[in-house]
């Protein structure tokens, strides 16, 4: 009985930690859409020559668009 309680307590702790990390990752992620280019100020063929545009998921040049679209 005691082992079962410990098991569920540990399970609850691990699930709580996983949920907290997921929310933190969502809150701090770059970009608002599925791709960084969706709200990047350089998302234009003249401003960005990267081959990953418009589907970049990682980009060191990403800068969020300051004006709402």
* Site of interaction with ligand SF4 (CB under 6 A): 36-37, 40, 42-43, 48, 50, 52-53, 56, 59, 61-62
Beta carbon of residue 35, minimum distance to ligand SF4 (angstroms, whole number):
7
Beta carbon of residue 66, minimum distance to ligand SF4 (angstroms, whole number):
13
HEC profile of the chain: CHHHHHHHHHHHHHHHHHHHHHHHHHHHCCCCCCCHHHHECCCCCCCCCCCCCCCCCCCCCCCECCCCC
Beta carbon of residue 45, minimum distance to ligand SF4 (angstroms, whole number):
10
């Amino acid at each position: 009985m005691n082992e079962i309680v410990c098991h569920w307590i540990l399970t609850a702790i691990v699930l709580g930690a996983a949920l907290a990390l997921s929310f933190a990752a969502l809150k701090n992620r770059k970009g608002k859409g599925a791709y960084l280019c969706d709200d990047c100020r350089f998302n234009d063929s003249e401003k960005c020559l990267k081959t990953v545009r418009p589907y970049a998921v990682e980009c060191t040049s990403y800068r969020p668009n300051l004006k709402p679209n």
